[in-house]
Amino acid sequence: MIDYQNQTLAVDGVPLTKIAAEFGTPCYVYSEAALTAAFEDYRASFASLDPLICFAVKANSNLSILQHFARLGAGFDIVSGGELARVLAAGSPADKVVFSGVGKSEAEMEMALNAGIHCFNVESVNELARLDAVAGRLNKVAPVSLRVNPDVDAKTHPYISTGLKDNKFGIAFDQARATYHAAASLAHLKVVGIDCHIGSQLTDVTPLIDALDRLLALIDELASDGIVLEHVDIGGGLGIRYTDETPPDIAAYAEKVAERLAGRKLKLVMEPGRSLVGNAGVLLTRIEYLKLGDEKHFAVVDAAMNDLMRPSLYDAYHGIVPVEKKAGVATMTVDVVGPICESSDFLGKNRDLAIEQGDLLAVLSAGAYGSTMSSNYNTRSRAAEVLVENGQTRLIRRRETLDELLVNERELLAK
């Protein structure tokens, strides 16, 4: 886990000072123990329902992280052919994979059908037609679930709200029944389930339960029409603590779900992401300069918005703490900013920190949507990633070299 030991922040007992010395900065560091604990919390809470717990790969797609969850028994929620390639490379059985996303290409559909995935979460009528055609060409039958948009307000950031009528995701609730009939009429599709995901970073489960109630009412209507579903996918979206949030009680949520599924022959599928990895990781960075001004002070660090996009994109808050607690260092209020040539390049604003130039900082709750959203903007190499397992460190993604960033652009014209 991530805590201070002898005034130095450590991950599963390994001081971050040691990790910085060995692997450099910026660097993502993950706790295997925290990953396991988060997954086991879901498994224990929902044990009576024996769910297929599909980790949302977009939250953290490192192969070693995926392999760890696969060994724990997880399935996977993917949104691209690239993510399918990752989970298969990590050792996941294809029949534990659900394929979500609004823009699946023919090539991605073909790849998933040949692999034999558990289900396609279909998000439009036109996608149904395309999938039927691709499956027919391959002489296969595609298992499908419709992602239904229940028009429930998740009360979260608008960029991560996905269950309202004006969101691009899913099939409108009032069109879902007819769309199921259309799906059932297609020769190369097998209707097996229903799916819903209304948003991310939810700290109140009430919208999730409201959405489930709407799905179950639709399931009953479909059954009366002769379309009997095998599974219900309740999505993910449970929030974590970044600052002062109170994360949902997973066991209490599971109890509410179990009450509603009692007596129904429905397999439960779920797609947690952030809540499995978010608080299992930190972004380790070093202060390059303290820039002190008359009205504003800045701690300029070697990590930037290309390493962690969430603060710039969502104005998201991440806790930032000094790796070493030093006696006699004055506290100052600073904006923690990176070296990228953008005013939006910040990791945290107005933070009270007892720091000196050259100190290490840890950006907390960085295990989800950190490395996966990173880029090479300003021709910056993406950060290394390290996993701490039983007190031992393992490099699970090495830092890119500048030669690697340039290699695909070498075909220059001769003068």
* Catalytic residue numbers, as ranges: 341
Using DSSP, state whether 13 is helix, strand or coil: coil
The Cβ-side half-sphere exposure at 223, using a 13 Å CA radius, reads: 14
Q: Is 163 annotated as a binding residue?
A: no
What span, in angstroms and rounded, lies between the C-alpha atoms of 124 and 128? 7
What span, in angstroms and rounded, lies between the C-alpha atoms of 142 and 135? 6
Q: Is 409 annotated as a binding residue?
A: no
Q: Is 338 annotated as a binding residue?
A: no
Q: Is 273 annotated as a binding residue?
A: yes
Q: Is 271 annotated as a binding residue?
A: yes
What span, in angstroms and rounded, lies between the C-alpha atoms of 211 and 222? 17
Phi, psi of 301 (to 5 degrees): -110, 170
Q: Is 367 annotated as a binding residue?
A: no
Q: Is 272 annotated as a binding residue?
A: yes
Phi-psi region of 330 (alpha: psi -120 to 50; beta: other; left: phi over 0): beta
> 76-87: string of b/e by CB count within 10 Å (b at 16+)?
bbbbbbebbebb
**Helix (H), strand (E) at residue 384:** strand 384-389
Strand pairing class (75-78; 97-99): parallel
CB 370 within 8 A of CB 11: no
Binding-site entries: 237, 271-274, 310, 314, 342, 369
Residues annotated within the binding site for substrate are 274, 310, 314, 342, 369
Binding site residue list for pyridoxal 5'-phosphate: 237, 271-274, 369
